Amino acid sequence: MESENKQPYQTALYPEEEIITRLTTTANSQGASGINQESLNFRKDKMCDSPTNKILKQLHDKQLLIVNPKRRNGLILYKRYHAEFAGPGSAVGVSLDTDCRKVLPVGNLDLISPESPDERQRAYLIRRQWVRLTLQITENPDPIKRAQKIMEQFEGFFDSATIAYIPDEAFALLVGVLPHTVRQVRGKR
């Protein structure tokens, strides 16, 4: 927590399936709400076919994938109370990410399958390095400094257009700060 006077803050992450269910329930209970069942089914089909949902399905199916080490890309993995960044060369999937609730591709994401046991082992080690980097940032007790440091890390690796695309909430969940702290740091840049 950033202050003893503030209430605990938890970001609610809802799977798209749950959002559709809520919309359907609301639409059915309100009668003529402007949302008809046909448009909900269309939205549901489109959401299920999205690239992020395909990635999420692969993670939940425990497939082992590797973030292409030859590109500036990565994947932000939203977990229940935090997020993790899997950068180039990182392993994703298998038992590491079955609890993943949402994913956010960063850069021009390319996920590949490992071709050998050595490549698989190297990918696990690289994922661990990315986790350790984030852990080092989160060890700082000052939330402003944590937000600044994660922004600096991403700015050193990705272009400004890619960084602008990443929501405040994602950076906040990576280093355990509130989204308004990230907005504050972004405003100073």
| Last residue of one domain, picked from the residues 9, 25, 49 | 49
Strand partners, 77: 84, 103
| Last residue of one domain, picked from the residues 17, 32, 49 | 49
> Do 69 and 160 sit in the same domain of this protein?
yes
> Do 143 and 73 sit in the same domain of this protein?
yes
Average pLDDT value for residue range 83-89: 98
pLDDT at 2 over 80: no
> Do 4 and 44 sit in the same domain of this protein?
yes
Q: What mean pLDDT value characterizes the chain? A: 82
pLDDT for position 49: 67
pLDDT at 183 over 50: yes
Sequence-distant (≥ 6) Cβ neighbours of residue 111 within 8 angstroms: 55, 58, 65, 66, 67, 68, 75, 92
| Last residue of one domain, picked from the residues 13, 31, 49 | 49
Average pLDDT value for residue range 170-186: 97
| Number of folded domains that form the chain | 2
Over residues 41-73, the pLDDT tens digits come to: 444 444 456 889 999 999 999 999 999 999 999
Average pLDDT value for residue range 146-152: 98
Average pLDDT value for residue range 158-183: 97
Calculate what percentage of the chain has a pLDDT beyond 70: 74
Average pLDDT value for residue range 119-143: 97
Is residue 37 a contact partner of residue 24, using CB atoms and an 8 Å limit? yes
Which domain covers residue 133, as residue numbers? 55-187
> Do 154 and 120 sit in the same domain of this protein?
yes
Average pLDDT value for residue range 107-119: 96
Q: 36: pLDDT confidence band, cut at 50, 70 and 90?
A: very low
pLDDT for position 48: 59
> Do 115 and 61 sit in the same domain of this protein?
yes
> Do 99 and 174 sit in the same domain of this protein?
yes
Element (H, E) at 2: none
Q: 120: pLDDT confidence band, cut at 50, 70 and 90?
A: very high
Per this entry, what is the length of the chain?
189
Q: Which two tokens stand for residue 95?
A: 């038992």
> Do 129 and 151 sit in the same domain of this protein?
yes
> Do 19 and 82 sit in the same domain of this protein?
no
> Do 32 and 80 sit in the same domain of this protein?
no
Cα(124)–Cα(117) distance, integer angstroms? 11
> Do 43 and 95 sit in the same domain of this protein?
no
> Do 88 and 152 sit in the same domain of this protein?
yes
3-state class (DSSP) for residue 93: strand
CA atoms within 13 A on the CB side of 163: 16
pLDDT at 3 over 50: no
Q: 15: pLDDT confidence band, cut at 50, 70 and 90?
A: very low
pLDDT at 174 over 50: yes
> Do 125 and 171 sit in the same domain of this protein?
yes
Over residues 99-109, the pLDDT tens digits come to: 999 999 999 99
